[in-house]
Structure 1
């Protein structure tokens, strides 16, 4: 089979199944896993699919598991606001920070004073919130618009983050578990968060009680990457202390 034909069939399979593993494609096309990885890399560059750890997902499947932003905003609002209030105190003048597209970081953005700060984000709502703060420079990632979360995702978003190294990342997730680590319901959001973590000096997770001891679909990172974990007063702190790395500081909002 010629390479263009194989590429066409790979895209068809992923669009039909929504996700596929490298080893499955390797067996199906009787080629090495390394060949399949190169195929997926080329197809991702053409925006035909989104690579994942060990496979790929369809580009048009990005929002399937994501709760609409307006619905998420009202879930545990008070707890998220308590966490955000503490998070603001960890931001200093002249900091360069990442903010993800979570509702908790939007609350953080709403609380930010007009200070000398550079914020990089994939969230349209965070960027809009900070637009009237004259001292805050806002840099947005590129990417494909997720209409569910009003954020930018996909390979372009991930690649744009690779060009920056920042002081701190503030992000949230859908699940935090002793075995599965940090996870999210949406693969494309997980990819963006993972790259933000990679390019940050300090990693700060904002977590309300409902996410603790939960597993979600898409793995982000191991909990050992965390420098600081900010939680609300309903969080099971004893459980968290028993599973996080010794160097991880737990702060209660």
Structure 2
């Protein structure tokens, strides 16, 4: 990786969101050069670009706004999988934040358990009961992690789990870029209740370092209609139901 690329990533991770103009001034290069740098870094899944800015992939508020209509459609599809009286564990992530918003709008009588501050805030003015479990706050992901979070997950009951992923491959299953969040997910799915993944089709075919779940751990995938037939076949062949929005 180029030294400038490393410095750009450091700056973006520090600030969460940095304009192309500011990066060009900082590194004394043109805006065109910075845009080319950001395209390369985005292809490698180090950051994302939006409206003249480079955005950290850990900045949840920015990710909630990206691909808004797709995530909203997936969340509405996922809402149909809930029943009155469910106790639902909702992990962190932008698609799960949309699901929380749809739950609040629906008036459905469910209890939501979450390690994500953003998810809890989506429901703070709604009638559903919300249990925000404790832990150490990852500020950009707004997710609580660590031993206290693990203790809470192990000692609380729920009948449905909704998780997010960063990648999927037929060989490795579902993977993530954050080891702490991956551990939260692993503990939740070990309850062996109904486990659901909400993920955009663009995440399929990508591989990240940390194992999140195997095929046999997941009951249903909720994704968009652009998921390739190759991945649909791989998932259904392993007994995973695929729903598209």
Confirm or deny a common fold (TM above 0.5): yes
Shift of 1:66: 5.4
Instruction: Tell me, yes or no, if the aligned pair for 2:161 and 2:196 is still in contact at 8 Å.
Output: yes
1:247 paired residue number:
239
Map of 1:93-242 to 2, 5 A cutoff? 93-112=84-103, 113-134=106-127, 136-242=128-234
Separation in 2, partners of 1:232, 1:175: 15
Aligned equivalent of 1:76, options 53, 67, 88: 67
Separation in 1, partners of 2:221, 2:75: 12
**What is the aligned residue count?**
188
Separation in 1, partners of 2:92, 2:154: 17
Aligned equivalent of 1:87, options 78, 97, 106: 78
Residues 125-183 of structure 1: CA distance to partner in whole angstroms, max 9, x if unpaired? 1111111112x111111100110111211111111100123111011110011112111
Separation in 2, partners of 1:243, 1:230: 12
Instruction: Tell me, yes or no, if the aligned pair for 2:138 and 2:144 is still in contact at 8 Å.
Output: yes
Separation in 2, partners of 1:86, 1:173: 17
The CA RMSD over aligned residues, in Å, is: 1.6
Structure 1 segments, 4+ long, off by >3 Å, are 243-246
Q: Secondary structure at the match of 2:168?
A: strand
Separation in 2, partners of 1:139, 1:83: 23
Q: Secondary structure at the match of 1:166?
A: coil
Which consecutive unaligned segments of at least 5 residues does structure 1 have? 1-64
Residues 63-88 of structure 1: CA distance to partner in whole angstroms, max 9, x if unpaired? xx952113322333322222111000
Distance 1:165 1:237, change over 3 A: farther
TM-score using structure 2 length: 0.72
Instruction: Tell me, yes or no, if the aligned pair for 2:64 and 2:98 is still in contact at 8 Å.
Output: no
Distance 1:227 1:245, change over 3 A: farther
Separation in 1, partners of 2:200, 2:60: 16
Q: Secondary structure at the match of 2:175?
A: strand
Shift of 1:94: 0.1
TM-score using structure 1 length: 0.70
Instruction: Tell me, yes or no, if the aligned pair for 1:66 and 1:185 is still in contact at 8 Å.
Output: no
Which consecutive unaligned segments of at least 5 residues does structure 2 have? 1-55
Instruction: Tell me, yes or no, if the aligned pair for 2:64 and 2:97 is still in contact at 8 Å.
Output: no
